[in-house]
Structure 1
Amino acid sequence: MNISVVIPLLNEQDSLTELHDWIAKVMQSNQFSYEIIFIDDGSTDDSWKIISELSAKNKSVKGIRFLKNFGKSQALHAGFEKASGDVIITMDADLQDSPDEIPELYNMIITEGYDLVSGWKKKRYDSVISKNLPSKLFNWAARKTSGVKLNDFNCGLKAYSLEVVKNIDVNGEMHRYIPVLAKNAGFSKITEKVVQHQARKYGVTKFGMNRFVHGFLDLITIWFLSHFGKRPMHLFGALGFIMFAIGFAFAVYLGIDKLFLNPTGRLITERPQFYLSLSTMIIGTQFFVAGFLGEIILRTKQDKKRYSVKNELNLE
């Protein structure tokens, strides 16, 4: 199979039929074999009903329905597990991503040999205050933190080789950072392509300030995981050593001062340096323990399902 199109969605009943017809037209005109995998992330409208109708008419349409809303990252993870195309395309279901971009994205993966091509919505139709400016700030921080030089991390329109999606684990809210996950997994041929952004035709945006805040918190998380995810003792052990050394140095100073320099002075327990020393050594020890616990968890953890599927269509 040439292409798998993975589409996570939440309450997009008005756009699904039009999106399907548009994708099918592009695939047929380019003679691609394809599958469209819709992942219904707990919609409360008629989205699943429409997906069921589309799958009955077109066997290339496949569906996954979650029991409730688990989030976009979990939806992408489920779609990636089922995808079998040589190239996997992800896009949003709101018609703001253009399927006409698919042939060129496909060629960049197959012909030019890229592992991942991320869309860049250079000209946007979003509100400047509520989404555009926050996105620019977020993308700047992501570039500086991750070292991946992309202008639009959050664009839903991306293309991947099959090897990439089978070797990354998209969880939590990490869908924004799939290029970083791919880089950390060893895939270095990552680029971007300017893509057309279209104004939303139906429904309302799911973007809010809470997602903006969550994005930066996730950025801190992925920075930590990128640098210390497989060796937490390197961070916590170093912090623990520094803290313990500072506390121990204070304790040595207090002991020498009391025994040799000022034996008739105040008791050690009456000096504030004593409590600073004690607190610092305790905190340093706790950092050491945190590092050891992190190492133990890494070696004993078992993967658990992060979502529950209610129905599947045309999937073996």
Structure 2
Amino acid sequence: MNTVSFPPAALAGLQAHDMRGPDGAPVRAHRLSVVVPMYNEVGNAVPMVDAVQSALESYPWPWELIVVDDGSSDGTGQALDRRAREVGPHIRVVHLARNFRQTAAMQAGIDASRGDVIATLDGDLQNDPADIPQMVARLLEEDLDLVAGWRKERQDGFLLRRLPSILANRLIRKVSGLHFQDLGCSLKVFRASVLRQVRLYGEMHRFIPAWLATVTSPSRMAEEPVRHHARRAGESKYGLSRSFRVLLDLVAVHFFLRFGSRPGHFFGGIGLVVGAIGGLLLAYLGVLKLQGHDIGTRPLLSLAFFLVLGGVQLLTTGILSELLMRVYYDVGRARPYRVREREPLEPPTPQDAGWHE
């Protein structure tokens, strides 16, 4: 993790705004980036910026707010630009060329962030920015890589929001092996060096803990109860249709968690089973042929033939995928492991402009 020094003037104000972890010890120095994706939330744009500013006004370490306008068409981007100019350079607005959806917008904000710790939350003001300091304190003092929010008392409608979320969380827990109560909560705090090890796409923002499990241990992740508010303005962008997208992405998550570095085992295993079934059927038909039975018009012969052919294709697909993985790891110099940095955070100094002190 990059380290920088902190200005003496800011250090002098630490006693007035002391920030302590769960064990009562002072939180280590760091820089905080807050990432908020927004799409057609003109009614929440200014209140969201003000809510984050109010929650972190006395934060003892440098922080920045990065708001990603995800191709809004209702004036959200203009409202954010005006408010950012009024508040200060630590408020930065990233404008996407069109609506790329929440996951891509969140990745854009992560790419633009400069902090050692990254917090993400929704722009609809249902997440409370006031929960961020305690989550950051727990992350650093317990030496975690992720602290995820848990909306224990949700303020959503049961049928359209809470019930699909309950079912989805149960399915995700079973597939991923992560025992989080609320994987759909956008309020999360990450160690930036770990979060930048993964790339988000599709609807993967709700599977971030699962993706992080590919580069860090689940024991370095925790869940923190957070406040949740009813939507005050605008309309929800979620509906039942997202459930189908979640299911498709869940299949991808399961594949990469189990077979990301050994895809040949996945395709090869299926190929062996399919080919073996086809071979047994052909052997059975061969015995019948030797006994004088006519097998040329039997549908079972066609089924056995295509099963054997499919098994061979799956086996060759597994071999090709293994070759691609070798190219990825050898030529791309990627590694199938990650060594965790044990270096403690040093007092940071915002050498460039755009940090709130």
Same fold (TM > 0.5): yes
Unaligned runs of 5+ in 1: 304-313
Instruction: Output the TM-score relative to the length of structure 1.
Output: 0.89
Instruction: Kindly provide the amino acid, as one letter, of the partner of residue 16 in structure 1.
Output: A
Residue pairs, 1:149-228, within 5 angstroms: 149-188=179-218, 189-228=220-259
RMSD: 2.2
Residues 208-248 of structure 1, C-alpha deviations (whole Å, 9 max, x = no match): 01112211221122111211223221111111111112222
Q: Structure 2: how far apart are the matches of 1:3 and 1:273?
A: 64
SS of 2:237's partner is coil
Q: Name the structure 1 match of 2:294.
A: 267
- Counterpart among 120, 129, 149 of residue 150 in structure 2: 120
Aligned partner of 2:19 in structure 1 is none
Query: After the TM superposition, which of the residue ranges 138-147 and 282-291 deviates more from structure 2?
Result: 282-291
Aligned residue number for residue 38 of structure 1? 67
1:277 aligns with 2:307: no
Q: Which amino acid in the other structure matches residue 69 of structure 1?
A: N
**Distance (whole Å) between structure 2 residues aligned to residue 240 and residue 202 of structure 1:** 53
Report the Cα distance in structure 1 between the residues aligned to 2:227 and 2:80, rounded to whole angstroms. Answer: 25
Matching residue of 1:307: none
Q: CA 1:164/1:187 → structure 2, altered by over 3 Å: closer, same or farther?
A: farther
What is the aligned partner in structure 2 of residue 310 from structure 1? Answer: none
Offset of 1:82 from its aligned partner? Answer: 1.8
Query: Residue in 2 aligned with 1:74?
Result: 104
Cα deviation, 1:90-117, whole Å, max 9, x if unaligned, reads 0111111111101101101111211101
- Cα distance between partner residues in 1 of 2:285 and 2:236: 62
Aligned partner of 1:290: which letter? T
Instruction: Describe the SS at the equivalent of 2:163.
Output: helix
Contact 1:232 1:294 (8 Å CA) reproduced: yes
Please show how residues 89-128 of structure 1 align to structure 2 within 5 Å.
89-128=119-158
Task: Tell me the equivalent position of 1:138.
Answer: 168
Deviation at 1:15, TM superposition (A): 1.4
Greater mean deviation of Cα atoms: 17-26 or 289-298: 289-298
| In structure 1, C-alpha distance between the alignment counterparts of 2:326 and 2:105, rounded to whole Å | 27
Within 2, Cα distance between the matches of 1:49 and 1:279? Answer: 59
Provide Cα deviations, 1:99-142, integer angstroms capped at 9, x if missing partner.
Answer: 11011011011112111011011111111111111111111111
In structure 2, the partner of 1:308 is none
- Measure the CA separation in 2 of the matches of 1:222 and 1:194: 25
Range 281-290 or range 107-116, more displaced: 281-290
Aligned partner of residue 201 in structure 1, secondary structure: coil
The superposition leaves residues 189-225 of structure 1 with CA deviations (integer Å, 9 ceiling, x where unpaired) of: 1111110000101101111011122112211221112
Moved more, 283-292 or 97-106: 283-292
2:4 maps to none
Greater CA deviation, 234-243 or 289-298? 289-298
Aligned partner of 2:272 among 218, 225, 241: 241
Deviation readout 1:144-176 (Å, 9 max, x if unpaired): 110111010010100001112211111111001
**Secondary structure, in 3 states, of the residue corresponding to 2:302?**
helix
Sequence identity percentage: 34
- More displaced stretch, 268-277 vs 220-229: 268-277
Cα drift, residue 300 of structure 1: 6.0
CA contact (8 A) 2:65 2:91 kept: yes
TM-score (norm 2): 0.79
Count of residues in Structure 1 that have an aligned counterpart in Structure 2: 302
State the match for 2:284 in structure 1.
253
Contact between 1:164 and 1:187, CA under 8 Å: does it hold in 2?
A: no
Match of 2:54 in 1: 25
